[in-house]
Structure 1
Amino acid sequence: MTNVYSFDGIVVFGLLLICTCAYLKKVPRINHWLLSEKKGVWGVFYKAAVIGTRLHIPVALSCFFMAFYVMFLK
């Protein structure tokens, strides 16, 4: 179980947010509804989707290494 208030919990939350927003960007209705705002609180989802789509290889590697860390080293 990962604690949200620890550093690795924040990293896991960030990676899940980035991966989820990048996936939801491919769905047309959700893309228009959730990712249309580029500023403010809703802009966080847009920026996470942009990070996920442009840096998909480093994000995927980070997810893999974080999963290995949480499952075997922690």
Structure 2
Amino acid sequence: MTNVYSFDGILVFGLLFVCTCAYLKKVPRLNSWLLSEKKGVWGVFYKAAVIGTRLHFAVALSCLIMAFYIVFFK
């Protein structure tokens, strides 16, 4: 179990947040409801979804590396 207040916990949270927002962008009802705002507090979801879709290879590779780190070194 990772601690959110540690550096690797923050990285895991960020990766999961980006992956979740990228997935929600593919769901039509949630895309129009959650990701319609591009500014403000709700704009964070939109920006994370854009990062997840444009850098999908780098995000997936980062998730694999982080999973390997947590399973074998943590």
**TM-score, normalization by structure 1:** 0.99
Aligned to 1:10: 10
> Could you list the runs of 5+ residues in structure 2 that have no partner in the other structure?
none
- Percent sequence identity is 84
Give 1:9 deviation, angstroms. Answer: 0.3
Aligned to 1:62: 62
- Name the amino acid aligned to 2:54: R
**TM-score, normalization by structure 2:** 0.99
What is the distance in 1 between the residues matched to 2:41 and 2:17? 14
Q: How does 1:1-74 map to 2 (within 5 A)?
A: 1-74=1-74
- Structure 1 runs (4+) greater than 3 angstroms displaced: none
What is the distance in 1 between the residues matched to 2:25 and 2:53? 9
What is the distance in 2 between the residues matched to 1:33 and 1:10? 27
- Name the amino acid aligned to 1:35: L
What value does the CA root-mean-square deviation take over the aligned residues?
Answer: 0.3
